[in-house]
Amino acid sequence: QVQLQESGPGLVKPSETLSLICNVSGASISRYYWNWIRKSAGDRLEWLGRIYTTGGPNYNPSLGGRVTMSIDTSKNQFSLKLTSVTAADTAVYYCARGYTFALNWGQGTLVTVSS
Amino acid sequence: QSVLTQPPSVSGAPGQRVTISCTGSSLNIGSYDVHWYQHLPGAAPRLLIHDNINRPSGVPDRFSGSKSGTSASLVITGLQAEDEGDYYCQSPDGSLSLWVFGGGTKLTV
């Protein structure tokens, strides 16, 4: 059974970088595509991007080049970095497995952007 | 504004049937498969329907999906109190390198 668990700071200051990690168990991270998705105020879901071990990641252009994703196969985990955050980046962040849809999801982690 | 349009809310009595619509364009639903998710309070989002009509293992057959042209629908029959939550449609947009979601529909039972 594939399980995903997000971790990282719950509070980030405006203009700083949000960094999250997703630990994967029950599946080799090398075999699948991995995504970051967030749910912000108003209950809207937004796809942030997708990464695989080979080839370039795909990012949502709406983030204006602020997002970077990476994979660590030795730890079976992948990560998200979002730079120059503002209050609008306050959301519950989810990691998920899948190429065209999210088959498995983590429980999510709340990140608040505030000084 | 979301790329995919859903009604903000739907409601139904226990045992009834409800339909949640998802309207897009030729760039997304008109060209690619649609997927549906359920997000219940306090739980992780859950895949309900993938590739327009397919239910993952463990999803009751009370949930069904369909697609026609640039629109898709999720039908829930035999409504139960535990179905109360948010439902989202999702599709690639313009290419397989970008996903878009509907704005979500809050189901009240």
Instruction: Please answer whether residues B68 and B24 qualify as being in contact, where contact means their C-beta atoms are separated by less than 8 angstroms.
Output: no
Query: What pLDDT sits at residue A68?
Result: 97
Which parts of chain A are beta strand (E)? Answer: 3-7, 11-12, 18-25, 34-40, 44-51, 58-59, 67-72, 77-82, 91-97, 104-105, 109-113
Percent of chain B with pLDDT over 90: 92
The residue type found at B45 is: P
Q: What is the pLDDT of residue A19?
A: 98
Nearest chain A residue to B32 by CA distance is A100
Q: What is the pLDDT of residues A2-31, one digit of tens each?
A: 999 999 999 999 999 999 999 999 999 999
Strands B105-108 and B85-92: antiparallel
B29–chain A nearest CA distance, Å: 13
Any CB–CB contact under 8 A between A3 and chain B?
Answer: no
B17 secondary structure, DSSP code: -
CA distance A22 to B51: 26
- % pLDDT > 70, chain B: 100
Asked whether the beta carbons of A21 and A8 are under 8 A apart, the reply is yes
Q: Which of A45, A50, A106 has its CB closest to that of B101?
A: A45
Of B44, B47, B106, Cβ closest to residue A101 = B47
pLDDT bin (cut points 50, 70, 90) of residue B2 is confident
State the pLDDT confidence band at A42, using cuts at 50, 70 and 90: confident
Is A1 in CB contact (< 8 Å) with chain B? Answer: no
**What is the average per-residue pLDDT within B33-59?**
96
B55 interfaces chain A, CB cutoff of 8 Å: no
The mean pLDDT value of chain B amounts to: 96
Model pLDDT for residues B90-103, shown as the tens digit of each residue? 999 988 889 999 99
Per-residue pLDDT at A110: 97
Of chain A, the percentage scoring pLDDT greater than 90 comes to 94
| Token code pair at residue A30 | 């090398």
Output the pLDDT for position B58. Answer: 95
A35 to chain B: which residues are within 8 Å by CB? 99
- Given a cut of 90, whether residue A56 has pLDDT beyond it is no
Q: What is residue A55's predicted lDDT score, i.e. its pLDDT?
A: 81
Mean pLDDT to the nearest integer, B56-78: 97
Q: Which residues of A touch B87 (CB under 8 A)?
A: none
Residue A43: the pLDDT is 87
- pLDDT at residue A35, as a whole number: 98
Residue B77 has a pLDDT of: 98
Q: Determine the pLDDT at residue A8.
A: 95
